[in-house]
Structure 1
C-alpha cells in the first residue's frame, strides 16, 4: 500500500495545529480513512465517527502521534480558516478583501488569505487582528459559514437580511443574550440545519468549536451549499417571520385573504389585507378598553407532521406528546400590551375575542419553559393582576380549520386596516 505523502511544510503545519492539515497533498485517501478507524478515542459508535473518517480522508485533519484524534479538543481560528480556505467547491467572493491581520502565524497566512478570498472571513469586521490562536466560538463559526453561503448563492445573502427581525429558536434569543452582530448568521445556520441548539436549548455562541464538530460541519456545509435556500422550510419560516411577523404562509398556506363576498357591499374592501406586516407592531382595535395592544410575532405550528415537515419552532413551544382535536393547529402570539390603569389576567384575555389570537394564557409545555420565552405568569401579581404596565409575553391559542368553529382570523388597526384571513 502506498504510504501517505506529506511535504515537510505540511508535516510541520500538522504538528503546529494539532493535527489540522492546511495545505499540500495527502496521498492515499483509503489509507487516511483506515487510519481514522484506529483512533483510540473515536470508536465506531462515536456520534461523529463517519464525519471524522471523511474529514481525515479529505485531508482536513490528521490524528496525533499517540494514536488519538482528540475529538473534543477546540479548534483555533487559524486552524478553521485553513480548513475553509481549502474547500475547493467554494467560489471566490466578487469583492476581494485584503488580509491585513497582524497576528496570524506564518503557517496559517495562506490559509487565512484563502478563507478571506472565498468570503468566509471579512477583515472589515475586525480591527486588524483575528486573534488567530484563540479557540473559534460557535457564534463566530456561524458568521463565517453564513458569509460563505452568501458567496455561493445571492439568495443566502438576501436571507441574512430577511431574518433581521425574526424569532430565533434558541434560548439566548428569548433571554436576550443573543449578540446582535451574530444573530442573523445564527438564524441562517439554524434555518438550514447547518448548526443546532444543544440539549440545554442554547445555541452556545460563546462555546468553543471542537474538532469533531468541525468534521461534521465540513460535510454539512458542502451539502447546504448545494441546496437552494428556498428548499429549507426552516429558513423559509425564519425569513417569513423576519419580514412579516408570522410563518402562517409556510405552515398554513390554506389561509388566504377573505374574499370580497364576505363583506357588505358598502365595505371598503381596499382596507382588507392578508399581509401581517401591515399590522405587526401597530395598535389594534380591542374589544375591551383595559389596554392598548400590539402583536410582535405570530407563530403557527402543525402538530400532526413529523421530521423535516415540522415547523422549526415546534421544539420551542410544543412537547412531543401534545396533540389537538378536530385538526386544529397551535397558535402562539407575542403580545405587547400597554395597560391604561390596571388589568387582571381575565381582562387581558378579553382584549381580542379570538380563539387564535388569545392573550389569556401562555403555553404550559415543558419545551416552552426550557427555552425561556416570557410567560404570562412571570408578569402577574396577587389575584392575577398584572404587576407591570407594559407586559410583553407569549400567549397560546388554536388555529381552526373546521368551518363550524368560525376559523377566520380578523384583526383591525385603529386606522381601519383589516387583517382578515380564512381557510380555503
Structure 2
C-alpha cells in the first residue's frame, strides 16, 4: 500500500484536525478507517455519509481526541484550500493574481489555487481576505456560484438573469439580503446546492460548519456536472428575473390568446405573451381608486411533489390547501398608488380577474413564516388602507377548466395587452 506523504502542513492537520492543505492524500482505505473513530459523528448524523466521503477524499482529518467536530466553523483559508483541491474544476479563462496580504503561509498555495479555479476573485476584496475569519454562508454561495460560472458559461448567464428575481428566502422579503450576494444565493437555491434553514432564512451571515462543507463538496461536484437548464428551480428564478413570472415553466399550457378571439377591428399587434412588457407598468383599471403596477407574478402547481414542485411552493403554500377544479395558485406582487382613499374591498375591484386580484394576501402558515408583505400590514382596523403606496403579495387562482375564466389579461396605459389563455 502506498504510504501517505506527510508535509509539515499535513502532519499538523493529522495532529490537530482540520483541513489538509498541500501534499499528497493518503489511501482512501486509511481515511475511511479514520472516519469510523469519530465519536461525535454517529451513523445517524445528518451529514455522516458526506463527512466520511470528505475524509476519504482527503479534504478533512479528524482531531487527536477522536472527534470530527462537525459543528465547528470553517475559516476562509480552510475553505479556499478545499476548493483549490477540486481536481475536476477547470481554471478560469482570466487569471487573477493572489494579492492577499493576510493569508497564512500554510494556506497560500490553496488560496492561489482557488483563485485560479475561479472561486475567489481578489478584485472583490481590498487586498485582504480576512483569511482566519469564519466563512459565512453568503460568501460561500458567492464562491461556489463563481466556480460554477467557470464550469459552464450558462451558469455565468444565470447569475445575470436572476438579478431581478424573487428569491425564496426570508431575507429577500424582509429586505435584509445584501445586493452583492443576492444573485449567488439565487443560483445556490435554484440548483439545490444550498437551502434555507428551518426559520426560512438562508442565513447569509451565519458561519459555515465542517459538516456543511462536507455536504457542499459532494453537492458542488454533482451540480457542476449538470446543465443549468436541467434545474427547474433555477429555470423559474431566471424566468422571474427576466420577465417577472414563472408562467412558462409551471403552466406552459398558457399561450398567447389567438387572434380569432378578438374583434376584427382590434389591433392584434399590441397583444403579447411576454409579461416583461407589462411588468412594473401602469395598468388600465376597472375602477379609479389607485394606480396599479404588477411587480411579479408567481404560479404554483399544487398537484405535483418533489423536484417537480415550484421552488416557490414552500413560500406561499401549505400542503393542506385544496383548490377547485384543477386550478393552480396565482400569487401577485402589487405596487399600488392610492389616489384618495381605498378599502380592501375596493382593491379587489381594480382589475376584476380571478388570477390577478389585489383583494387579499395568502393566509398560509408558510407565507407568514417567510414574512412576505401582507395586505393586512397596510390596513387599519376598518379595512381601509393607511398607506398611500402599499406593496404586498395577493393571491388568486389560475384556471384550466373551460367552464371558468382561463383568460388572463393586463393592459398598460400605453396600450400593450398581455393576453394569455389556457390551451
- The interval holding the TM-score normalised by the smaller chain is over 0.9
Query: Quick check: 2:166–2:172 contact (8 Å CA) kept in 1?
Result: yes
Give the C-alpha shift of residue 38 in structure 1: 1.6
Aligned length: 423
Please show how residues 157-176 of structure 1 align to structure 2 within 5 Å.
157-176=156-175
Match of 1:264 in 2: 263
| 1:81–1:13 CA distance, 2 compared to 1 (3 A) | farther
Match of 1:122 in 2: 121
Please show how residues 90-169 of structure 1 align to structure 2 within 5 Å.
90-169=89-168
SS in 1 for 2:19: coil
Separation in 1, partners of 2:16, 2:335:
50
Match of 2:36 in 1: 37
Separation in 2, partners of 1:75, 1:13:
16
SS in 2 for 1:292: strand
1:371 counterpart = 2:379: no
Task: State the Cα deviation string for residues 205-231 of structure 1 (Å, max 9, x = none).
Answer: 000000000000000000000000000
1:23 counterpart = 2:22: yes
Separation in 2, partners of 1:344, 1:204:
37
Give the C-alpha shift of residue 15 in structure 1: 5.9
Comparing 407-416 and 17-26, the one that deviates more? 17-26
Separation in 2, partners of 1:55, 1:328:
45
Q: Which runs of 5+ in 2 are unaligned?
A: none
SS in 2 for 1:72: coil
Match of 1:76 in 2: 75
Separation in 2, partners of 1:288, 1:177:
35
| 1:16–1:162 CA distance, 2 compared to 1 (3 A) | farther
| 1:5–1:332 CA distance, 2 compared to 1 (3 A) | same
Task: State the Cα deviation string for residues 55-110 of structure 1 (Å, max 9, x = none).
Answer: 00000000000000000000000000000000000000000000000000000000
Q: Which runs of 5+ in 1 are unaligned?
A: none
Task: State the Cα deviation string for residues 6-46 of structure 1 (Å, max 9, x = none).
Answer: 41323345169842112222222012112112200000000
Match of 1:49 in 2: 48
SS in 1 for 2:293: strand
Separation in 2, partners of 1:43, 1:3:
29
Task: State the Cα deviation string for residues 358-407 of structure 1 (Å, max 9, x = none).
Answer: 10000000000000000000110131000000000000000000111121
Match of 2:197 in 1: 198
| 1:57–1:222 CA distance, 2 compared to 1 (3 A) | same
Task: State the Cα deviation string for residues 235-285 of structure 1 (Å, max 9, x = none).
Answer: 000000000000000000000000111111111100000000000000000
| 1:17–1:279 CA distance, 2 compared to 1 (3 A) | farther
Query: Quick check: 1:17–1:79 contact (8 Å CA) kept in 2?
Result: no
Please show how residues 8-407 of structure 1 align to structure 2 within 5 Å.
8-14=7-13, 18-407=17-406
Match of 2:6 in 1: 7
Separation in 1, partners of 2:303, 2:13:
50
Separation in 1, partners of 2:45, 2:3:
25
Task: State the Cα deviation string for residues 298-328 of structure 1 (Å, max 9, x = none).
Answer: 0000000000000000000000111212100
| 1:79–1:270 CA distance, 2 compared to 1 (3 A) | same
Separation in 2, partners of 1:272, 1:349:
25
Task: State the Cα deviation string for residues 306-358 of structure 1 (Å, max 9, x = none).
Answer: 00000000000000111212100000000000000000000011001101001
Separation in 2, partners of 1:241, 1:75:
34
Query: Quick check: 2:14–2:62 contact (8 Å CA) kept in 1?
Result: no
SS in 2 for 1:186: helix
| 1:235–1:193 CA distance, 2 compared to 1 (3 A) | same
Separation in 1, partners of 2:89, 2:303:
38
Separation in 2, partners of 1:11, 1:216:
22
TM-score, length-scaled by structure 1: 0.98
Task: State the Cα deviation string for residues 110-129 of structure 1 (Å, max 9, x = none).
Answer: 00000000000000000000
Separation in 1, partners of 2:378, 2:172:
19
| 1:89–1:13 CA distance, 2 compared to 1 (3 A) | farther
SS in 1 for 2:372: coil
Query: Quick check: 2:300–2:329 contact (8 Å CA) kept in 1?
Result: yes
Name segments (4+ residues, structure 1) moved above 6 Å.
Answer: none
SS in 1 for 2:120: coil
